[in-house]
C-alpha cells in the first residue's frame, strides 16, 4: 500500500470493505440484457473524518425485484467528486451487485478530507444513478463551532406519506440525519393502522417474516420519493428499534411473533438483520448490531444504542420485576461500553442515540376518555398502570446504574435523543423522579415524534390538539421533569449543537396523509452547557 497512489488506495479499501459486507455469487459478473436501473435511489451514511459509506441497489433486469433472488450479477462503478458535475473525481472503484445480497452494494470510501461536502454516484451498464450529496465528519481534535442534525423516527408506510423527509431534504444546513429507529414496519396491511385508515398499501401485503419478505418491504420503502430525496441530500446515521424486526422485540421473541405459526425467532431475526444491513447505509458494528460510536470534532461524541438485540423480555406493567437487577435492556457488554465511552469522552457534549425513552413516565390522573387510547398507544393495560415496560421504565436497574455512573463520575452535558413513542417531549432526566426538582437532573432528553405512525389524535379519530391538551397537562403534572409533551403532531426535529448549548427545534406536518403537506416550527427547547436541564426557547435556530 505504501507504493500505490492515494486514489488507488481509496479504491482498494472501498472494494475490500464491500466484498466483506456483501458476499459474491459464484458466477462471473455479467450485465443483463436489459439496461440496469437504479430504482431505489442512493444513500450515504456513518460519516468519518476521512470517509463515508455509500449505498445503492441496482435492478439488472425487470424480474430482479427486491426479495426475488433473480437477476444476473452486474458490475457497479462508483465515484466521489468535489463538484456536482463530477469534473474533479477524488475517489472511484467498482463493486459487484449479486442476487446473494439482493443486488445491493456498499462502498466504504476512505482517504477523503474532513468536514467536506462531496458528490457521489453509481454507474452500471452505462446508466448513471442520481447524483447525491454527502459530507464527512470533522477530525477528532478539531475545534468545531457547531453541528446540526435532522432527527426522525417511526415512519409507517400505511399510516401516511413521508413529507417530513422532503422538508429535511430541502435543507442545506445539516451535517447528517439521525434516524432513531422504526425505519420500516413489519405489519401486514390493515393491521396498524386499521384497513379503513390505510393511506397506501404495504408490500408484501402480509406480515413480513422471511428474508425475502424483509427485503421486499425495505425495497417498497425505498421507492418513496421523499425518502429517496432525503438520502440524496444528507448522510444518514441510523439505528434500529423493534419494527425493523417485530413489535416489542426482545432477545428471545416479540409481542407479535408466534413460533408455531411464524417459525423460529432466531431465524426471523437473522433475516431481518441481514436485510437491514443490505438495504441501509450502516456499517455492521459490534456483533452485527447497530451500537457504535461516531465523533464530531471536539464538540460531540454520538453513542448509538441497540436496545433490541440483548434485552430481557418485557414484563407486564405494574410488575415489580421491572426492578430486577438480572433483567436488562442493554445487555452487560453494551452498558459497560456506553459507560466507558461516556466517562472517557473529552468532547463538550455526549449525545446518545436512544431508541426508547429513558426518562421515567407515570400516567397521573388522566380523563377516562383519554386513558384507554393513550394506554393503547403506549402498550399498557386500559387500567392505566404507570410505566411503559418496553421503555427504560421496564428495566430500572440498568437506568439506575447508568444514571449513577453519570452522577458518581461527574459526567455532564449528556443528551439522550429518542424516538419510538410517537410524541414530542423535552425532559430533564432526574436522579429520582419522585423528589424532582429537589433531586438533581443528571442528563436531558429530546424525544421526536413520528414521521407518520399513529399517535393520540389518530387513535381517537379527532383533529390534532382538540382533546389531548388535558392529557398532556395531566402527564406533566405527574412527571415534573417533563417540560413539554405534544401527543398529536407528526414531523421531525432539528438538533443544533454548539459549545454553549444543544437545542432541539420541533417541526410539525399539517397533514401526514398529504404528500405535499406543509411543515411549521412549533417549539424549541435547549440545554445549556453545564446545566443538565432543559428550557424553552422562543425561536428556532436559523
Contact between 185 and 453 (Cβ < 8 Å): yes
Element housing 344 (H / E): helix 332-344
pLDDT of residue 371: 65
Q: What is the pLDDT of residues 342-378, one digit of tens each?
A: 999 999 999 999 999 999 988 766 666 676 676 666 6
Work out the percent of the chain whose per-residue pLDDT is above 70.
Answer: 89
350 in Cβ contact with 342 (< 8 Å): yes
Q: How many domains does the chain have?
A: 2
> Is 1 among the domain residues?
no
pLDDT of residue 468: 81
CA torsion sign, 185 to 191 to 194 to 196?
Answer: positive
How much is the average pLDDT of 43-49?
98
Cα→Cα distances 511→42, 183, 479, Å: 27, 20, 29
197 and 76 together in one domain: no
Same domain, 156 and 42: no
Domain boundary among 113, 135, 157: 135
Residue 125: give its domain's CATH number: 2.60.40.380
Residues 224 and 295 in one domain: yes
Q: Residue 10 pLDDT more than 60?
A: no
Q: Binning pLDDT at 50, 70 and 90, where does residue 122 land?
A: very high
Looking at the structure, tell me whether residues 155 and 84 fall in a common domain.
Answer: no
Query: Same domain, yes or no, for 183 and 80?
Result: no
If you average pLDDT over residues 447-461, what whole number do you get? Answer: 92
For the segment 208-244, what is each residue's pLDDT rounded down to a tens digit? 999 999 999 999 999 999 999 999 999 999 999 999 9
1/55: higher pLDDT? 55
User: What would the grid cell of residue 432 be?
Assistant: 429520582
pLDDT at residue 264 tops 90? yes
Is 11 contained in some domain? yes
Answer with the one of 135, 156, 175 that is the final residue of a domain: 135
- The last residue of one of the domains, among 83, 113, 135, is 135
Give 108-119 pLDDT, tens digit per residue: 999 999 999 999
Q: Which of 68-77, 389-398, 455-464 has the lowest mean pLDDT?
A: 455-464
- Kindly report which listed range (35-49, 246-260, 314-328) carries the lowest average pLDDT score: 314-328
Q: Are residues 110 and 188 in the same domain?
A: no
- The set of residues, in sequence order, having a beta carbon less than 8 Å from that of 1 and lying 6+ positions away, is 9, 12
Does one domain contain both 218 and 258? Answer: yes
- pLDDT single digits (tens) 416-440: 999 999 999 999 999 999 899 999 9
Asked if residue 166 and residue 78 are part of one domain, the reply reads no
124 and 248 both lie in a single domain = no
Mean pLDDT for 450-466 is 88
- Tell me: pLDDT of 8 over 60: no
CA separation for the pair 327, 15 (Å, rounded): 42
Residue 140 lies in a domain: no
pLDDT at 22: 35
Nearest in space to 481 (alpha carbons), one of 533, 418, 424, 404? 533
pLDDT band at residue 326, thresholds of 50, 70 and 90? very high
Contact (CB, 8 A) for 183 and 221: yes
The answer to the question of residue 542 being in a domain is no
Instruction: Determine if the peptide bond prior to 437 is cis (ω within 30°).
Output: yes
Express each pLDDT in 168-191 by its tens digit: 999 999 999 999 999 999 999 999
Taking residues 141-163, report their average pLDDT.
98
Same domain, 353 and 475: yes
The pLDDT assigned to 226 comes to 98
Domain assignment of residue 202, given as a range: 147-537
* Strands 74-81, 117-124: pairing kind: antiparallel
Phi, psi of 74 (to 5 degrees): -145, 135
pLDDT of 287 over the 80 cut: no
**pLDDT band, very low/low/confident/very high, at 77 (cuts 50, 70, 90):** very high
Distance between CA atoms of residues 43 and 121, nearest Å: 9
Got the DSSP string for 14-62? HHHHHHHHSPPPSSPP---SSPPB-TT-EEEEEEETTEEEEEEE-B-ST
Q: What is the rounded CA–CA span in Å between residue 277 and residue 304? A: 16
Task: Specify the 3-state DSSP secondary structure of 431.
Answer: coil
pTM of the entire predicted model: 0.91
Residue 147 pLDDT > 90, yes or no? yes
Give CA separation, 47 vs 139, 305, 356, in Å: 11, 17, 24
pLDDT for 13: 35
- In the chain, count H helices and then E strands: 11, 22
Residue 142 placed within a domain = no
Amino acid at each position: 500500500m505504501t507504493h500505490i497512489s492515494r486514489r488507488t488506495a481509496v479504491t482498494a479499501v472501498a472494494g475490500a470493505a464491500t466484498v466483506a459486507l456483501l458476499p459474491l455469487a459464484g458466477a462471473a459478473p455479467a450485465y443483463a440484457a436489459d439496461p440496469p436501473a437504479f430504482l431505489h435511489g442512493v444513500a450515504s451514511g456513518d460519516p468519518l473524518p476521512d470517509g463515508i459509506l455509500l449505498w445503492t441497489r441496482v435492478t439488472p433486469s425487470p424480474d430482479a425485484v427486491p426479495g426475488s433472488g433473480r437477476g444476473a450479477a452486474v458490475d457497479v462503478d462508483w465515484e466521489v467528486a468535489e463538484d456536482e458535475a463530477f469534473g474533479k473525481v477524488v475517489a472511484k472503484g467498482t463493486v459487484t451487485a449479486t442476487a446473494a445480497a439482493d443486488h445491493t452494494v456498499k462502498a466504504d470510501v476512505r482517504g477523503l478530507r474532513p468536514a467536506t461536502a462531496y458528490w457521489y454516484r453509481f454507474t452500471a451498464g452505462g446508466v448513471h444513478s442520481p447524483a447525491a450529496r454527502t459530507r464527512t465528519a470533522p477530525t477528532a481534535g478539531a475545534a468545531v463551532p457547531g453541528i446540526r442534525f435532522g432527527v426522525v423516527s417511526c415512519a409507517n408506510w400505511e399510516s401516511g406519506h413521508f413529507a417530513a423527509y422532503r422538508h429535511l431534504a430541502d435543507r442545506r444546513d445539516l451535517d447528517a440525519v439521525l434516524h432513531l429507529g422504526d425505519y420500516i414496519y413489519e405489519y401486514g396491511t390493515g393491521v396498524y393502522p386499521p384497513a379503513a385508515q390505510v393511506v397506501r398499501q404495504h408490500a408484501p401485503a402480509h406480515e413480513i417474516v422471511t428474508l425475502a419478505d424483509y427485503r421486499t418491504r425495505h425495497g417498497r420503502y425505498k421507492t418513496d420519493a421523499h425518502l429517496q430525496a432525503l438520502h440524496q441530500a444528507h448522510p444518514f446515521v441510523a439505528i434500529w428499534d423493534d419494527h425493523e424486526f417485530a413489535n416489542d422485540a426482545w432477545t428471545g421473541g416479540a409481542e407479535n411473533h408466534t413460533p408455531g405459526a411464524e417459525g423460529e425467532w432466531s431465524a426471523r431475526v437473522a433475516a431481518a438483520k441481514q436485510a437491514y444491513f443490505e438495504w441501509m447505509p450502516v456499517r455492521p458494528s459490534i456483533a452485527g448490531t447497530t451500537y457504535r460510536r461516531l465523533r464530531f470534532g471536539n464538540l460531540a461524541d454520538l453513542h448509538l444504542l441497540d436496545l433490541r438485540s440483548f434485552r430481557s423480555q418485557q414484563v407486564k406493567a405494574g410488575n415489580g420485576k421491572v426492578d430486577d437487577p438480572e433483567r436488562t435492556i442493554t445487555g452487560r457488554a453494551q452498558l459497560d461500553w456506553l459507560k466507558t465511552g461516556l466517562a472517557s469522552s473529552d468532547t463538550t457534549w455526549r449525545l446518545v442515540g436512544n431508541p426508547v425513552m429513558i426518562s421515567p413516565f407515570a400516567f397521573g390522573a388522566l380523563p377516562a376518555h383519554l386513558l384507554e387510547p393513550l394506554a393503547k398507544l403506549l402498550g399498557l393495560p386500559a387500567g392505566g398502570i404507570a410505566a411503559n415496560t418496553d421503555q427504560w421504565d421496564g428495566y430500572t436497574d440498568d437506568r439506575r446504574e447508568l444514571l449513577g455512573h453519570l452522577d458518581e463520575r461527574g459526567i455532564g452535558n449528556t443528551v439522550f435523543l429518542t424516538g419510538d413513542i410517537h410524541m414530542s417531549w423535552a425532559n430533564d432526566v432526574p436522579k429520582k423522579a419522585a423528589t424532582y426538582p429537589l433531586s438533581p437532573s443528571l442528563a436531558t432528553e429530546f424525544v421526536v415524534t413520528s414521521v407518520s405512525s399513529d399517535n393520540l389524535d389518530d387513535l381517537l379519530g379527532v383533529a390534532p390538539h382538540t382533546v389531548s391538551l388535558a392529557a398532556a397537562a395531566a402527564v406533566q403534572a405527574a412527571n415534573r421533569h417533563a417540560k413539554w409533551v405534544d401527543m398529536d403532531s407528526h414531523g421531525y426535529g432539528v438538533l443544533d449543537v454548539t459549545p454553549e448549548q444543544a437545542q432541539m427545534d420541533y417541526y410539525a406536518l399539517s397533514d401526514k396523509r398529504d404528500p405535499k403537506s406543509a411543515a411549521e416550527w412549533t417549539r424549541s427547547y435547549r440545554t445549556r452547557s453545564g446545566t443538565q436541564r432543559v428550557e424553552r426557547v422562543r425561536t428556532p435556530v436559523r
